[in-house]
Structure 1
């Protein structure tokens, strides 16, 4: 077997010089593909003359070209309508040696049918056809890789006409998929692959480089400028004139490691009931426990007891230097009532953590929690607060006497649920605080959550118009404040209200976003865009009387506004109003563009901001359900008329947990950081790991802040492993300064920590983009 040489693919024969890249196009001249073949050759010859990187083209239909000596003349070989089983064993072995020695391969469309009996060639391609769309059709290609030379100059959503191939097995995860075809935009036929339908991909294969595109099934397609740009980029990589990372989404290149051990019996030495993460600049991971103790620990649910609901709000730290855990501190919180009935259990406790932007110097940490000392057992009310504490950097201990209360407000604790809790900083030093609507799910049949009747001591606990829909209430909101050095705060410009609206006491100036139900997770990217996710109500299917089923929701938020709950959800789909004296009787549909809060429990403005469309919503039936609308804009809510605009999503038991937007740090020397391919992608996930989402999505910056749908999504289920042995119940996830992903797994129970409650780290081990700089054949190539 010939070995590799420094100047070209093979030692056998003189390799091409640095300035003379060359490509062999292998094809056939007979059959119904003649026009396609001719158009393909013309296109490849034309793009080979475009600079600054160029290549010469030799086209042949002769199998005798597949010898060691002849193949050594070429930097890449293109299979263009090559026919079926044409190479004999010796010729195939020469081609295999060529690839092993560093040669490049580009397969176009019918190349996937070449050499059908060869397992090696199946590996080179990545998959085999299972059928086609049955003729050319217009479809949308989602371009997920914005860096690869074959796709970086293409539109995010690329409409084109082609013959679309379906695959026997989905190659995503074993190859690096750079583009997918959106099946809902055409008729894929009986062998359809579903929402994840790869159409172009690449991989480093046995020493060489392999790129395949399922496009190229029509002669007219080869004249398209974007398709030629696609082919040119693929050939620049396969000929070693450009670099590309074709390892970035291959599952085997990621490793998930559990960092914390199970707690000692009847202790919380490693982890409390997992609820949130923040990561210091030095890589130390601080994570909090809400308030539950270990499995089987007793809980006090008696309102006559002064200890009712008392539990440990824990702070732990994992140190990357020592790989050890330190128990940093504990707060006595109201949040340990266990599970069971909605009028028994509770979701309060230690809910959020945010390290000060100057944490390394001042040790300040902000905690969002419900102190046990603030519980009114007669009124079933509690105090929620955001306080600043200090962590001693030498001892890694929380100084509870250092508490400075910034902000506090009342919450009802007679009925569960929806506490929210996450906190994040923007670049201007503003602190965002996510709060849940503290509203019962039980008394509106799982729909709007707008029943004004149930109350305890005169305080409604089933009417989210009192909280999330109320301009004068801090629950069901995302607040934005600017903490000051003296422990107070000021109001940034651009919040939703100034505080002077109405009578001057009907709108809180801390509110940045209203109309969110249970935003357990929020994130801020480097451009100060807010990403939020919240859990929806409980209705299992839509109702033509009351409105949409439960929608868990994700939104990109670029300005202050109202996300709709409890009036509207999804893409401004309204609920039905209800009110006293008989909340069981439906009233009018809410007008999402002209909302009024007419609840008897409202102490804020009656005219409230209009609802905005959200980017992602999903129900038990599927992702992005939408319906035909009548003249007033009201959807039919007929489940048989539903269209699912985001087919990669499905719910059931669902709890949205938004994740970060990854930012690649080229200056970092970390050997575990995720690759640049993920830069700018938004991670969205669900607490559960069955059919629920765990995806990286690409948004269009032009409409992301206006409710635009994602243009591309890919599953993370195998990279962030699901199942009992993996990260089954995703509670929080953030990238650290090392570029690795840190994930909290809640565990396998509820309202406690158990043996599966853990902090994990997911690292990358795929190596750099190829070819390496010293192997490029053209100076100055990208």
Structure 2
């Protein structure tokens, strides 16, 4: 029902005095199981929008399922704001409430109402109410900026919160017509944003907020609940079914009919703790040169060090010295029960030649770790590494391998003698770089192994890395067509194998090749994905078995109309075997120029991303390759998602002045893509530090560097994620996984543990060493459970928490 409290109401309508009496202050939150909502609006509010809003809220309350119904009462008289009258309402809605409406006593009564557990829903113009009240600004969360658009425009709303009752079930991308405010201060990080408006889809005018433009948000505020939406500025808004769903969910939470989490993206609710100490002088007792981690189901964190020693430790670069490049590949275990670190074991790796010239430094060593799916039973751990004992100092070649080792679960010690080599292949070690390293499992027990292209782009001016000429001992080190573009080479790939109990492996069905193409000898059946450059990190979401990968691009600072795209660091959602394009194409199939013999300094034709051919003299695989496919995310020094007009042959112009940035939330510069996991919320876990359900299904992507580089949680559209669809929504993690001085500045790896906390490796501030900032961090959630607490939830069904109340 709706009861009018407007002046001149019919005789049978209730009056202001009927709203509530002068009852004494209660210890219980205001309202009762007979849920009532007060809709308050300004006396001079626009009648058409006001009446449309009143009608919509009344209908939402009266037509809801029985356990979610509420009655609605309406007033434009600020006299309703007294303690005795407000205590009758579970929530108060400000509709078309613009300007200074409440006197000091009335605001004090409203303040006390919120502090005692009342709910507030502000619609559109409510952001302009009580303009001189600092308290009301806090209740709303922000204020409109001057000079924004005034006329309705069609725009796209990104619905980032997929679990809050106000947004659950809404489209990922919600196109609608409304009047859009710009915000004087962006409230992100201080409120919990549930939806944003995408500025690229309309004209935001002066005071635009950029890619992070909140439009609906909520927060627990001084004991009560506050939900605000900037939408609802037009009559038509209140007739939209999706907007009514939005209002209905907001009202369910503000009236205490259901629980919801409005704390999940508030930065202050997270705590980042460094859990390892700096190494003792001349020791690697806490951590090696960070290069990957894995977390056991009992909470122990296993952290590997690539091979670099402490700063200023000896580095041997003389090929005539038997110890050339000898380093310590370390495995450390951090135990949450004791808070202590154990050096579990050390492998003699080729991986400590230090920095400097590209013909001196290298990125080999101990590169990846994956605990067996039954690790707590069998103690098996898989390591991806380059043994020093297998280097050929004459040919400048080495062996890369994936080996299985046995751990003593009681002592946290690695049995080095237990090694069983599953898979090995040759790598050149004359020139840096690109070793890759990441490993992960799918739900079927298949092991994914990321390998770099074992190649330099230095001799291709930072572009495609396809110069066939430089070699050592007949092995090219500047032609990625020898590796990443070669169907018969395991470098520049993501491999997929199934380890067997005896230490061997089989190849699962569905990989890119069978090994029998063209009679055999031209393909490797272990290849799942080809055409990746330097994938240091990969992750598999075991709920979908989708592979999430990121790789570092070449070094060109800007696009070239001669050679092609600039440095693109890349992320991709991979749902099937295929070719991601390198070194022929990058981004959304943007081609490079061929530079084959006789003169690599002169360009030949543009590569055809849909009809690729490997015509390199260094190719021993197939000539005709699988077509390149689109990647989901790419970013250059100029920004995120560079795209260009294309000619009739599909070749981009590569002119900077014609560049369009399709992913404005990404910035470029010094870049090194580090993909993270997809978070899966465990409702059955009783962990007090697990991240909230808001993050469920979100993909974490980041960059080695902090500052303006990406560190985000992304919402992908499942219908196009595997075919190169762009992210629908990006949530900045910079304040939660803290960047900057004193924080996690050089992100190397990150994974969630069984406790729902995020474990992060900070590489440190030097290169090829483990310095005082090399560390393992733990990021925990400290915000508490959804609100209101169960004891104060009036509804019979808790749609957010999933349980009866």
TM-score normalised by structure 1 residue count: 0.98
Q: CA–CA distance in 2 between the matches of 1:406 and 1:10?
A: 76
* Alignment match, 2:761: 744
* Alignment match, 1:283: 299
Cα deviations across residues 402-452 of structure 1 (Å, max 9, x unaligned)? 111111000001100000001111111111100000101201111111111
* Alignment match, 1:594: 611
Q: Secondary structure at the match of 1:35?
A: helix
Instruction: Give 1:375's match in structure 2, choosing from 383, 391, 409.
Output: 391
Q: CA–CA distance in 2 between the matches of 1:16 and 1:614?
A: 52
* Alignment match, 1:23: 37
For 1:19-418, list aligned pairs within 5 A: 19-30=33-44, 33-52=46-65, 53-131=68-146, 132-418=148-434
Query: How many equivalent pairs are there?
Result: 774
Instruction: Give 2:672's match in structure 1, choosing from 655, 663, 667.
Output: 655
* Alignment match, 1:3: none
* Conservation of the 8 A alpha-carbon contact between 1:28 and 1:37: no
Instruction: Give 2:515's match in structure 1, choosing from 484, 499, 507.
Output: 499
How far did 1:397 drift? 1.4
How far did 1:199 drift? 0.4
Cα deviations across residues 711-745 of structure 1 (Å, max 9, x unaligned)? 00010000001113010000000000111000000
Q: Secondary structure at the match of 1:422?
A: strand
* Conservation of the 8 A alpha-carbon contact between 2:29 and 2:116: no
How far did 1:297 drift? 0.8
Runs (5+) with no aligned partner, structure 2: 1-21, 800-805
* 2:608 is aligned with 1:608: no
Q: CA–CA distance in 2 between the matches of 1:342 and 1:446?
A: 13
Q: CA–CA distance in 2 between the matches of 1:744 and 1:484?
A: 30
Cα deviations across residues 741-762 of structure 1 (Å, max 9, x unaligned)? 0000000000000000000000
* Alignment match, 1:754: 771
Cα deviations across residues 138-179 of structure 1 (Å, max 9, x unaligned)? 110000101111000210000001111111111111100000
* Alignment match, 2:3: none
Q: CA–CA distance in 2 between the matches of 1:446 and 1:93?
A: 64
* Alignment match, 1:5: none
Q: CA–CA distance in 1 between the matches of 2:24 and 2:73?
A: 18
How far did 1:394 drift? 2.3
Q: CA–CA distance in 2 between the matches of 1:70 and 1:655?
A: 59
Q: CA–CA distance in 2 between the matches of 1:71 and 1:154?
A: 32
Q: Secondary structure at the match of 2:414?
A: strand
* Alignment match, 2:539: 523
How far did 1:81 drift? 1.2
* Conservation of the 8 A alpha-carbon contact between 2:98 and 2:127: no
How far did 1:28 drift? 2.2
* Conservation of the 8 A alpha-carbon contact between 1:598 and 1:606: yes
How far did 1:781 drift? 4.1
* Alignment match, 2:735: 718
Q: Secondary structure at the match of 1:463?
A: coil
How far did 1:83 drift? 2.2
* Alignment match, 1:4: none
* Conservation of the 8 A alpha-carbon contact between 1:696 and 1:713: yes
Cα deviations across residues 650-673 of structure 1 (Å, max 9, x unaligned)? 111000000000011111111111
* 2:600 is aligned with 1:583: yes
Cα deviations across residues 277-300 of structure 1 (Å, max 9, x unaligned)? 011111110010000000011200
Instruction: Give 1:704's match in structure 2, choosing from 721, 730, 742.
Output: 721
Q: Secondary structure at the match of 2:182?
A: strand
Q: CA–CA distance in 2 between the matches of 1:300 and 1:441?
A: 25
How far did 1:16 drift? 7.5
TM-score normalised by structure 2 residue count: 0.95
Cα deviations across residues 165-200 of structure 1 (Å, max 9, x unaligned)? 111111111100000111111111120001011100
Q: Secondary structure at the match of 2:459?
A: coil
* Conservation of the 8 A alpha-carbon contact between 1:313 and 1:330: yes
Cα deviations across residues 23-81 of structure 1 (Å, max 9, x unaligned)? 111112426x3322121111111111122111111111111111111111211111111
Q: CA–CA distance in 2 between the matches of 1:744 and 1:14?
A: 46
* Conservation of the 8 A alpha-carbon contact between 1:183 and 1:197: yes
Q: CA–CA distance in 2 between the matches of 1:780 and 1:387?
A: 51
How far did 1:13 drift? 12
* Conservation of the 8 A alpha-carbon contact between 1:746 and 1:753: yes
Runs (5+) with no aligned partner, structure 1: 1-7
Q: CA–CA distance in 1 between the matches of 2:701 and 2:707?
A: 15
Aligned Cα root-mean-square deviation (Å): 1.4
Q: CA–CA distance in 2 between the matches of 1:258 and 1:19?
A: 46
Q: CA–CA distance in 1 between the matches of 2:635 and 2:515?
A: 35
Q: CA–CA distance in 2 between the matches of 1:364 and 1:101?
A: 55
* 2:552 is aligned with 1:535: yes
How far did 1:551 drift? 0.6
Q: CA–CA distance in 2 between the matches of 1:12 and 1:770?
A: 20
Q: Secondary structure at the match of 1:357?
A: coil
Q: Secondary structure at the match of 1:140?
A: strand
Instruction: Answer with 351-360 or 286-295: which moved more.
Output: 351-360
* 2:785 is aligned with 1:771: no
Q: CA–CA distance in 2 between the matches of 1:558 and 1:661?
A: 14
Q: Secondary structure at the match of 1:354?
A: strand
* Conservation of the 8 A alpha-carbon contact between 1:10 and 1:72: no
Q: CA–CA distance in 1 between the matches of 2:761 and 2:452?
A: 20
Cα deviations across residues 219-259 of structure 1 (Å, max 9, x unaligned)? 11111111111011101110111111001111110000000
Rate the CA distance shift 1:13–1:46 in 2: closer, same or farther, 3 A. Answer: farther
How far did 1:313 drift? 0.3
How far did 1:395 drift? 2.1
Rate the CA distance shift 1:732–1:15 in 2: closer, same or farther, 3 A. Answer: closer
Q: CA–CA distance in 2 between the matches of 1:246 and 1:507?
A: 52
Q: CA–CA distance in 2 between the matches of 1:65 and 1:83?
A: 17
Q: CA–CA distance in 1 between the matches of 2:729 and 2:314?
A: 47
Q: CA–CA distance in 1 between the matches of 2:775 and 2:207?
A: 41
For 1:371-520, list aligned pairs within 5 A: 371-520=387-536
Q: CA–CA distance in 2 between the matches of 1:86 and 1:545?
A: 64
* Conservation of the 8 A alpha-carbon contact between 2:153 and 2:178: yes
Q: CA–CA distance in 2 between the matches of 1:332 and 1:688?
A: 29
* Conservation of the 8 A alpha-carbon contact between 2:157 and 2:197: yes
Cα deviations across residues 506-557 of structure 1 (Å, max 9, x unaligned)? 0000000000000000001122110000000111111111111111000010
Q: Secondary structure at the match of 2:328?
A: strand
Q: CA–CA distance in 2 between the matches of 1:625 and 1:49?
A: 50
Q: Secondary structure at the match of 1:252?
A: helix
* 2:682 is aligned with 1:665: yes
How far did 1:11 drift? 3.1
Q: Secondary structure at the match of 2:346?
A: strand
How far did 1:116 drift? 0.7
Q: CA–CA distance in 2 between the matches of 1:460 and 1:13?
A: 78
How far did 1:706 drift? 0.8
* Alignment match, 1:632: 649
Q: Secondary structure at the match of 1:210?
A: strand
